[in-house]
Chain A
């Protein structure tokens, strides 16, 4: 889209000349969201849960970086020579990087496997990183994350309730947030992406991002619907829809600007660094930012309108708007 037409696009959205039916078709969006949530809840059950990373299973992990030889059998041998009967998972996680995961090894075994890897892949001892995770660590991380989730949702709902002076905005925002979280989790299960503590960080950041996005759009809604009962220009629902349309250019710009750095981390992570903190984190964010933006537009705002549209005052106002329009429609 060229520059002029993008600005024009913004102009038309602002005046209401171009308008997307975010509200009018809300039932459709809600049905889609409900189906997505349902699917996201069923998929993990059918698939038997998530692809949990080593932090949740417990075990030892070795990463051989900058090696020219990425033959996975070397890694397997390095482990089985030390612990016969072990079933190591050896994966080539990025260019020149091999990761070996196995059950928990003792200190001496860890050292021996390291030596084997150094010899087998012909690398310096420096290039082999090892880590070990106790079986309860992942539980710890996820329990704390869940507590964080709960605390944040409650505090954010209170904060929004105070700022917007209506609990209905809080409720709408939280419902949209939960949809985003559940669907993201479902996508993780569906695509078999590995769930690691870093992915959980990303997951929690989605909270911040999705709600941030909602607050910006809701602020415009608040502005547009202030004094609505004294106006017969547009109904409440129309004003809400206008607000969403007016902030659409911002929503697009924001998500593009937010996605760009995340995408660059994802790219670097996937092609150069291999699976690790950066990639896991950015993948969760990448999915979350897209879903978060959609959640605001298609769930939070329409749901807020839905919650308020039947208030007696707003009904009367909608009737007045209707009457005025009928009067005008009659030939002058």
Chain B
């Protein structure tokens, strides 16, 4: 085996591959040790069992949804699902148009309705109540002492809204009960008062009818509060901007509330989202320009959260269930098992076929496939950890289909080497020049594969993504393997006696490949006693060879003549041995 040249370069390349694999393994190992990584891939719902809903957000007015709106939609659903007490739910967006909700088990009807409902934000004036009044009153006010509304309410802040019935309901409502705190599926009637809880302050309120709908908000931001001279203060504030209509109504509301005066709960207004109060600020001034600013005990985080929630108000998104799939855990496990069996059968068939075609060289194919498999497996595990990638049944199918496409890189390479051998090169030279040609082909064809995977991944919806992902991943793994493993291994093997000497079992045997050496010096070219394939084929395909001979060029004819003499020689020696 040569100590310098292709051999050492090949060994160096293999070391690089080893280092790459080790690096991935160490990364994953560290992830399992200190992070949430696992040595097995994370599974999608169709393999793990559970419910998957694909939701299409619908914006009122039918306009197209923007990326920002979609992110908000995800946020809305996440809060609703978390609020309904389902744990381990996963919510993702897909293709910039759909929201995918994956839940373990089967969600109840209420959770489903909740997920679909559109967000309702509204501004209502406070009629009674305040923070810290969450628990149900221990001693409800006796019936005869309940407030009775003497007249028809004149405006939204009128205490006449509070009827005896409403007040007793207010007293018995328990804002500490998780059931009460669940987001409302249906919005309370806009022209009626309502009872609402404020989970953050354990508050309980009676609210007047809706005065400003959330759709009147243009946008909401947060930032450090500014003093009247424009200097930044050290407190956080949330800034709302209303549209023209909202500005008009909000000015009227603040004029009325401000006049009521501080200290009265009716000075407050409540921002209600899905039936829960997200904030109930007091009115410190009349807001004529439609740009109110809410300040208080905000941290940067809570200010950001409120600003986000106010933005939902500007965005009444509803969700339509596009598809829903429920798969039990046992069925999921079954699908995975059968998918893996299919993969193993496929792999075994490919292995048998390549052994049949390429003899021991087929082993190189099989080992290359295994190396590609290990790299892909590590990548899937790592992506499951860092990117939350989950392997679905379509993904498994992608992996199985990829076996064939990966093996093809080796086939292209081996066939090129054979072509070079047929031109009369020795194996070491054939591997080098065959590689130069095969490399181009492999790169160009894999580029097509990757392009297809990328386009599918970014354009397609549903299952297609998981499939495209594994297809792309394996194309990359294939490139790594053919460059860093298959080629260096071929270089090393070319230097061995078994392959370089063209053993009949090597798959690169010079005789079966009809090799015609370019240079025939003193060294023996064909071992005596072994019948050359040339002779055999000549007799078998007489018609074909005659036809071919007619077509030959001068150079080819000359070569054919040389061949014939050679064939004759081996042919006669064959006869001798037969006798």
Are B460 and A204 in contact (CB-based, < 8 A)? yes
Instruction: Contact check, A148 vs B460: say whether CB atoms are below 8 A apart.
Output: yes
Contacts of A269 in B (CB 8 A): 342
Number of A interface residues in the complex (CB < 8 A)? 90
Binds B, one of A42-50, A78-86, A187-195, A254-262: A254-262
**A134-B323, A277-B46 known; A205 vs B452 contact (CB < 8 Å):** yes
Instruction: Evaluate contact between A159 and B353: CB separation under 8 angstroms.
Output: no
Question: Which of A32-40, A67-75, A123-131, A178-186 lies at the interface with chain B?
Answer: A123-131
Is B40 among interface residues, defined by CB-CB distance under 8 A?
Answer: no
**B297 at interface, CB cutoff 8 A:** no
- The answer to whether B195 has its CB under 8 Å from any CB of chain A is no
Tell whether A133 is near chain B: CB-to-CB under 8 Å: yes
Return chain A residues, CB-CB under 8 Å to B330.
124, 126-127
Q: Is the CB of A7 within 8 A of B512?
A: yes
Contact B322 A261 (CB under 8 A): no
How far is A119 from B344 in the complex, measured between Cα atoms in Å? Answer: 36
Q: Is the CB of B323 within 8 A of A132?
A: yes
Q: How far is the CA of A259 from the CA of B345 in the complex (A)?
A: 12
**Contact present for B412 and A216 (CB under 8 Å):** yes
A328 to B555, CA, bound (A): 12
Indicate which residue in A8, A14, A132 contacts B419 across the interface (CB closer than 8 Å).
A14
* B354 proximity list for chain A (CB < 8 A): 257
Check A145–B463 contact: CB distance below 8 A: no
Contact present for A273 and B338 (CB under 8 Å): yes
Complex contact B393–A278 (CB within 8 A):
yes
Asked, given contacts A134-B320, A141-B462, whether A152 binds B451 with beta carbons under 8 Å apart, the answer is yes
Contact B404 A156 (CB under 8 A): no
In the complex, the answer to whether A12 meets B537 with C-beta atoms within 8 Å is yes
| A244 within 8 A of partner (CB) | no
Whether B562 is near chain A, meaning CB under 8 Å from some CB there, is no
Tell me which residues from 107 to 147 in chain A have a Cβ below 8 Å from any Cβ of chain B: 107-108, 124-134, 136-137, 140-141, 144-145, 147
Chain A residues with Cβ below 8 Å from B537 are 8, 11-12
A212 & B464 in contact (Cβ 8 Å cutoff): no
Interface string of A195-239 (1 = CB under 8 A from B): 001101100110111011001100110010000000001000000
Q: Chain A CB within 10 Å — which of B56, B95, B341, B346 has the most?
A: B346
B470 CB to nearest A CB, Å: 11
Cα A176 to Cα B450 with chains together (Å): 20
Majority SS at the chain B contact face: helix
Tell me the dominant secondary structure on chain A's binding face. helix
Q: Evaluate whether A127 and B397 lie within 8 angstroms (CB atoms) in the complex, with A8-B533, A12-B541 already known.
A: no
Residues on the A chain within 8 Å of B553, using CB? 233, 328
Contact between chains at A264 and B415 (CB < 8 Å): no
Interface hit among B151-159, B252-260, B275-283, B437-445? B437-445
**B324 in the interface (beta carbon within 8 A):** yes
Any B CB within 8 A of the CB of A320: no
Q: Which residue of B lies closest to A148 (CB)?
A: B459
**Are B411 and A144 within 8 A (Cβ)?**
no
Of B329, B349, B548, which one neighbours A16 at CB under 8 angstroms? B548
Query: When the two chains form their complex, are residues B445 and A268 in contact, meaning their CB atoms are under 8 A apart?
Result: no
- One of B405, B441, B448, B461 near A140 (C-beta < 8 A): B461
- B427 lies within 8 A of chain A by Cβ: no
How many B residues, CB 8 Å from partner? 87
Report chain B residues within 8 Å CB of A207: 452
Which residue from A7, A129, A247 sits with its C-beta under 8 Å from B327? A129
CA–CA, A259 and B407, complex, Å: 12
* B324 engages A127 (CB within 8 Å): no
- A216 contacts across to B, CB distance below 8 A: 408, 412, 441, 445
B350 interface contact, C-beta 8 A: yes
User: Nearest-CB distance from A199 to chain B (Å)?
Assistant: 11
Known contacts A250-B411, A282-B397; is-contact A261 B463 (Cβ 8 Å): no
CA distance A14 to B451 in the complex (A): 31
A227 to chain B, nearest CB (A): 15
* A155–B455 CB distance below 8 A: yes
Given contact pairs A132-B323, A253-B411, A281-B397, A208 touches B353 in the complex (Cβ within 8 A): no
Q: Does B425 sit within 8 A of A, measured CB to CB?
A: no
Q: Which residues of A contact B (CB under 8 A)?
A: 3-4, 6-8, 10-12, 14-18, 55, 63, 65-66, 107-108, 124-134, 136-137, 140-141, 144-145, 147-148, 151-152, 155-156, 159-160, 163, 197-198, 200-201, 204-205, 207-209, 211-212, 215-216, 219-220, 223, 233, 246-247, 249-250, 253-254, 256-265, 267-269, 272-273, 276-278, 281-282, 285, 328
| Besides the known contacts A8-B514, A258-B408, A265-B400, 6 further A-B residue pairs in the complex with CB atoms under 8 A apart | A16-B548, A108-B109, A197-B463, A233-B553, A259-B404, A262-B401
Q: Could you list some 15 contacts between A and B, CB below 8 A?
A: A18-B544, A65-B331, A129-B326, A152-B455, A155-B451, A156-B448, A197-B462, A209-B405, A211-B452, A253-B415, A259-B404, A261-B401, A264-B345, A265-B339, A265-B401
A-B interface, 5 closest residue pairs, ranked by CB to CB distance from nearest: A261-B346, A258-B404, A208-B452, A148-B459, A260-B349
